[in-house]
Amino acid sequence: MTLDYDDRKRRELTLLFWAIAALLLWTANTRSAFADWIPPANVQVTASSQETELEAGFAVHVTDGDLGTVWVSRYSPAVDPGPHSIALLFEGRDVSRVRVTPRQGGSTNGLPVDWRLESSPDGVFWLELAAGTGDDWSDRGARTIGFEPHRAQLVRFTIERDASPSGDFAALAELEVWHEENLGSIGLAWDPVDHPAVSGFRVYWRAEDGGEYARDARFVDVGGTGAIVGGLEPGDQAARRRYCAVVRSIGSAGQTSREPSNEACGPAWVAADLIPAPLNLILVEPF
């Protein structure tokens, strides 16, 4: 069959249309793959300890893009006891993942064994994003830790115990934060619970204008006194969409408290907004 010029053009345009449609669909379904990296110029670095006498183990090395430089906790004239933390401060963003690169080559001192990754919207309330116990970072490979997008202006990585005999060293080559824009969050807070049967809490949320309560993926450990629910549709700036939340206690055997906390409602906030006070929840007697 021979195609004339018009037929060929129509076929080419049809193929182009479907190629563009497929690209848009793929882009929509892989949005997080195009999250923006927060550049070093927009980040301030602080650390609980850094070595400056026997080597240049400055904290800022974790944002210089050079795997040959490293942040090292102080070991001269004496070893600072662990745990050791390093934190990145930046303008509020909807953070979605952190990339951690351990020291490359040489000593194994400072390689994480027990570690914790946290974020904070204000430097007061800290949310645990991930943690490891007995980990092996001897391959020196970078790890990308993803989590539910939520508003934060601080990310903190803590090495509670490292691979050295004493476990008191800390070292990292790079620490990078990635963020996504235009996602909403709500913050929650409650008083500490002292009950032998409680192992943690489960957060439930819904849109105030309708819908059933959906269980958030986040399980908060018994020591936690708050949570951030992220990835919400925020609405427009003039009229932020409002969400409601409750919390239930979870027992050591997996049982759920008979009654939830009070319901608290408030507007979602995004990176461009001022951070509101968290919604206060009051837990009832568990089980």
| Domain 184-281: CATH architecture, name and number where available | Sandwich (2.60)
Tell me which range, 41-50, 118-127, 278-287, is most confidently predicted by mean pLDDT. Answer: 41-50
Domain 36-180 superfamily per CATH? Galactose-binding domain-like (2.60.120.260)
**Full-model pTM:** 0.60
106: left (phi over 0), alpha (psi -120 to 50) or beta: left
3-class DSSP assignment, residue 24: helix
Closest CA relative to residue 227, chosen from 192, 193, 189: 189
pLDDT in tens, 239-263: 888 999 999 888 888 888 888 899 9
Q: List, for residues 131-178, the tens digit of each pLDDT value.
A: 999 999 999 999 999 887 787 899 999 999 999 999 999 999 999 998
Is residue 286 a contact partner of residue 197, using CB atoms and an 8 Å limit?
Answer: yes
Partners of 45 in beta bridges: 88
Collapsed DSSP state (helix, strand, coil) of residue 33: helix
DSSP 236: E
**Measuring CA to CA, which residue among 232, 231, 257, 235 is closest to residue 246?**
257
Pairing, β 184-190 against β 279-281: parallel
Q: Could you tell me how far CA 165 lies from the centroid of its own chain?
A: 30
